[in-house]
Homo-oligomer: A and B are copies of this chain.
Amino acid sequence: MKSNKKIRHEARAKIIKAMAHPSRLFIIEELSKRECCVSELTEMVGADTSTVSKHLSVLKNAGLVTDEKRANSIFYRLRCPCIMDFVRCVEDVLSANAKDNVRILRFCKK
């Protein structure tokens, strides 16, 4: 793989890797509806505050979210709402997988 391609794919992978975790996907989905502060997200995710904080820093570091201090909380929001389009695409893959499984199951029964 050529060096410039490699760099490009590494940059992409970093962003995708930041999304590649159930809790972070959940956070992304919630933030696509409305901005939230850490304690709200902690409550929703149901993990330790420090864990959620670290997830948020992964998302922020990848440029997927931004934060803003207001009152005495820090509010996070999605930086590129188009991210949800991607999630829709992932759903396509999931439903293709599901269809295949149904087909395989049908084969087995015969």
State how many copies of this chain the complex holds: 2
- Tell me, rounded to whole Å, the shortest Cβ–Cβ distance linking A12 to chain B: 5
Pick from B17, B80, B86, B92: contact of A20, CB below 8 A. B17
CB atoms of B20 and A16 under 8 A apart: yes
Residues of A at the B interface (CB closer than 8 Å) are: 1, 5-6, 9-13, 15-17, 19-26, 29, 44-46, 62-64, 79-80, 82-83, 85-87, 89-94, 96-97, 100
- How far is it, in angstroms, between the C-alpha of A5 and the C-alpha of B82 when the chains are bound? 21
Chain B contacts for A64, CB-based, 8 A: 93
Residues of B within 8 Å of A19, CB to CB, are 16, 20
Cβ-closest chain B residue relative to A17: B20
List of B residues within 8 angstroms of A1 by Cβ? 23, 26, 44-46
For the complex, give the distance between the alpha carbons of A91 and B11 in Å.
9
